[in-house]
Each structure stands twice: as structure tokens, then as C-alpha cells.
Amino acid sequence: MQGIVLLGIFLKATPFLERSDISEDDLMDGVEKSLRKYFGKRGEQVVQDNLNAVKRGFNEVFEVKQENTEEVAA
């Protein structure tokens, strides 16, 4: 599932969404369609678990700002 979470992070951290000119809902609909194609034969729960992992990666990623090392050393 780490790779699936990374998909969500990738979709959030890159300009993919802006350049595609689609809404987040349309993006997630496309992700769900792809997950169904790939995981559908494994059952609905597998599809939903993977979709939730993508959404969490997308919604929960955040930037960690680097501290100014000169300020820390002072």
C-alpha cells in the first residue's frame, strides 16, 4: 500500500492537477476507475482500501520547512 499512498502524494505535490485542468473530484473518479481495473477482481473492499490510501496520501501530505541553519546555530 505504500506505493498507493505515494500516488496520492504525487498527485498533490506535483502540478499534475493544475495542468490537467480537472477538479479533485474528477481526479479521484479517475483514480477509482483505474483502481477498479487493476484491483477489481480482488473485491470491493480492496478497491475501497486502496482508494482511501490514495485519498489519505493526497489530503494528509504537508510540507516540512527547513529551518535556517544560521538561526539554529546562534
Distance CA 54, CA 73 (A): 39
Model pTM?
0.82
Q: 17 or 26: whose pLDDT is higher? A: 26
User: Domain coordinates of the chain in residue numbers?
Assistant: 2-60
| pLDDT of 1 higher than 90 | no
| pLDDT of 4 higher than 90 | yes
Torsion angle defined by CA atoms of residues 53, 47, 39 and 28, in that order, rounded to the nearest 10 degrees? -70
DSSP 8-state code for residue 31:
H
Torsion angle defined by CA atoms of residues 34, 36, 38 and 42, in that order, rounded to the nearest 10 degrees? 160
Sign of CA dihedral 64, 2, 30, 60: negative
Q: 17 or 60: whose pLDDT is higher? A: 60
pLDDT confidence of residue 30: 97
